[in-house]
Amino acid sequence: MEELDSSKTLVRKQATYNSMDESFVTKETYRGQQYSQIYFARLHLMRTMLNPIANNWKPHLPVCTVLGLEEGKECILIGTLFKHMKLKPSILNEYSKQRSITPVVKPRNYCHADDYLVLEDESGRVKLGGNTLSPSKYVTGLVVALYGKVAGNGDFDVRDILEAGLPSQVEFPLESREDKYVVFVSGLSVGSSAYNPLQLQLLVDHITGHLGDEKEQEIAAQIVRVVIAGNSVEITRPLVNGQSGQNLASKDQSKLYEPIKELDIFLTQIAAGVPLDIMPGKNDPANSSLPQQQSLNICLFPGSAAYNTFRSCTNPHCFELDSVRFLGTSGQTIDDIEKCSEAEDKLEFMERTLRWRHLAPTTPNTLGCYPFTDRDPFLIVNCPHVYFVGNQDTYATRLIKESEGQMIRLISIPKFSETGVAVVLNLKNLECHTLSFETQFS
């Protein structure tokens, strides 16, 4: 290794940061409200977006309600899709008397050839027919506009479908850009059987500039932020299953905290030199419903939380760096859509959510969320420049360029504990590459 010039001091680059997580913070108090209200709010807000688009789409056709449909009359319907799924798990099936005789098999994907779609609005619901709509592509909770007419069997024969499409986007800033990098990592899973402390330490040393020659340290000095997208720790299940923390022995209570304590040591090293955002995930010690976990409690991280560079964020997470807008989740939203629909890869699911203008359309049907009464925080009002999803099986990326000027970088972030891969994004041009750390023990 080349001898470093001790007289040369590297100064880490800075980027202007603006958190935009306010809409994901739950401030209202739960008073027994039902989930129907979030569906009404979603339909109302999405109809506001779809109405002007539908008028330009089919200006000669009226927009009707389900109750106002007439047989044979062409019109446009705007409503919420409901997907009837034959294989969707049912609480009644799981607790049926025959469960001990015929065990319930849970498939990875619940799609079936007999699935069908229903459209619902405030006035009623109607079954959808025709060959235009493929049930395998859509999920429950989407708000769309449909062109068609009622057939003789009472179904609405769909001739065409209109989705909201990509929202407008703030123009990507190009003036006086320089190389600045954001590092994405997810699925650290400290405490799991797949966790490799040496692998994680190599990542930390690279980010903080303690690894490599002078050239690599100069690149590390251009890292302006680290984003950890969920599933940072994994608590041993036998310790928590079937008993509360108060009933655990003191030895087992200390074991519960060990993964969090070890994670804090690594985060402290990063936060000492680089701004850091940590998002909660499915396995992290926080509430399971979305918007997830209202950020992890900073009391869990006494070392790293002492630095003003450390930020405990919500899931989903939205922020801006040097006017480049980021939006992402820890993976539950895309994983749940994958169970209820089909696509070639995870990036296609991600692109669909952007064109549907909804981060988590399957909430609250198959993915838990807070029962909001007057809003739906998962609506995508402004198009991000970078859209990331954590805790995926493999790394993948794609750049979407639309005729209206939108440019979006999609990033599927793999689980670090299983792949040893982190993702690096250049703010200058939205180009991506990976950092791979592999260690073997003989």
Determine which helix (DSSP H) or strand (DSSP E) holds 107, and give its type and residue range: none
**228 and 204 in contact (C-beta within 8 Å)?**
no
Cβ neighbours for 152, distance < 8 A, ≥ 6 positions apart? 71
Token pair listed for 145: 């506009």
3-class DSSP assignment, residue 341: coil
Going by C-alpha positions, the residue among 184, 195, 182 that lies closest to residue 230 is: 184
For 123, phi then psi, to 5°, come to: -95, -20
Long-range contacts, 28-33 (Cβ 8 Å, 24+): 28/372, 28/373, 30/370, 30/371, 33/371, 33/373
Token pair listed for 424: 């690096």
Q: Per-residue DSSP letters for 220-286?
A: HTTEEEEEEES--B---HHHHTTS-GGGS-HHHHHHHHHHHHHHHHHHHHHHTTS-EEEE--TTSSS
pTM to 2 decimal places: 0.91
**pLDDT tens digits for range 66-106:** 999 999 899 999 999 999 998 887 766 666 545 555 555 56
Angle at 143 between CA 410 and CA 374, to 5 degrees: 100
Tell me, what's the pLDDT at 10? 82
Q: Could you tell me which residues are beta bridge partners of residue 258?
A: none
Tell me, what's the pLDDT at 250? 63
Tell me, what's the pLDDT at 3? 45
Q: Which residues of 226-260 are buried (b: 16+ CB within 10 A; e: fewer)?
A: bbbbbbbbbbeeeeeeeeeeeeeeeeeeeebeebb
- Cβ neighbours around 357 below 10 Å, total: 23
Q: Could you tell me which residues are beta bridge partners of residue 146?
A: 77, 161
Distance of CA 396 to the CA centre of its chain: 15
- Cβ neighbours around 309 below 10 Å, total: 16
**56 and 90 in contact (C-beta within 8 Å)?**
no
Q: Could you tell me which residues are beta bridge partners of residue 422?
A: 435
3-class DSSP assignment, residue 339: helix
- Cβ neighbours around 74 below 10 Å, total: 16
Beta strands in 281-330 (DSSP E): 310-312, 317-321, 324-329
- Cβ neighbours around 409 below 10 Å, total: 21
Tell me, what's the pLDDT at 243? 53
Beta strands in 335-429 (DSSP E): 386-392, 396-401, 407-414, 421-426
Token pair listed for 87: 């294989």
Token pair listed for 385: 């420049």
Largest CA distance in the chain: 84
Low-confidence ranges of the chain (pLDDT < 50): 1-4, 97, 239, 442
Alpha-carbon span 51 to 43, nearest angstrom: 11
